[in-house]
Chains A and B, each alone.
Chain A
Amino acid sequence: ETGVTQSPTHLIKTRGQQVTLRCSSQSGHNTVSWYQQALGQGPQFIFQYYREEENGRGNFPPRFSGLQFPNYSSELNVNALELDDSALYLCASSLPGLEGEKLFFGSGTQLSVL
């Protein structure tokens, strides 16, 4: 059984650019949630995808968007990057059901915006 994998592990962009982060969910998990973790803070919920549809969104602007593919992998896209977007971006997968609230996190993508 493979865990949640994210790519790339590190990324440096400049303000105004666009970025795409990728996540492969744990085997059998059909739900992916994305979180932003600023330095020294707890993760903040961005949005969740379930069966390729957005299923809940946190307090993030529309320039944060996502996709989920038929194999349940997912992408997070951020347009018009701002300095405050510098953070660790975490992907978590889960399987709705008896223990659907259990999230399995990847190691994250560290994004630096200069």
Chain B
Amino acid sequence: QQQVKQSPQSLIVQKGGISIINCAYENTAFDYFPWYQQFPGKGPALLIAIRPDVSEKKEGRFTISFNKSAKQFSLHIMDSQPGDSATYFCAASLTTDSWGKLQFGAGTQVVVTP
């Protein structure tokens, strides 16, 4: 059973545009929601993360929006740049159970065109 569902599978955005990736989760006990960025040949790298006690978190051009009642969260990449072209994964975990046990979504391949 996939506990974190991610969409879209891929998206193409022009330079300067906004990329939006959505995730939905099943387990209401999850209390940590990170986003990871992965370039080809590399491991995932933590981009930004949020806990359910806040509805939004912004770091530079990256923003997480969190809707606890809908069990959904999303990543917005503002002013997208060609260097943002990568695969993005949402994830969720229950940190009181096992802090390293992340449930990942299937990933979204983002391509930013010049």
Binding site for B on A (CB under 8 A): 4, 31, 33, 40-45, 48, 55-56, 58, 90, 92, 94, 96, 100-108
CB pair B98 A55 closer than 8 Å:
yes
**Chain A residues with CB below 8 A from B93, complex form:** 101
Of the candidates B44, B91, B99, B101, the one whose C-beta lies within 8 Å of that of A90 is B44
- The answer to whether A107 and B41 have CB atoms under 8 Å apart is yes
B positions within 8 Å CB-CB of A? 4, 6, 32, 34, 36, 41-46, 49, 89, 91, 93, 95, 97-107
Q: Tell me which residues across on chain B come within 8 A of A44, comparing CB atoms.
A: 104
Once bound together, how far apart are the Cα atoms of A92 and B44, in whole Å? 9
Contact partners of B44 in chain A: CB under 8 A: 43, 90, 105
Contacting pair A40 B107 (CB below 8 A): yes
Which 9 pairs show the lowest CB-CB distances between chains A and B? Answer: A105-B43, A42-B104, A33-B100, A56-B98, A48-B100, A101-B99, A100-B99, A45-B101, A101-B32
Chain A residue nearest in CB terms to B31: A101
B43 lies within 8 A of A96 (CB): no
Q: Within the complex, what minimum Cβ distance (angstroms) separates A86 from chain B?
A: 17
**In the complex, which residue of chain B has the Cβ closest to the Cβ of A108?**
B43
Closest CB of chain A to B104's CB: distance in Å? 3
Q: Which residue of B lies closest to A88 (CB)?
A: B43
Residues of B within 8 A of A45 (CB): 100-103
User: Quick check: B43 and A106 within 8 Å, CB to CB?
Assistant: yes
Is B102 a contact partner of A94 (Cβ separation < 8 A)? Answer: no
Closest to B106 in A: A42
A92 to B46, CA, bound (A): 11
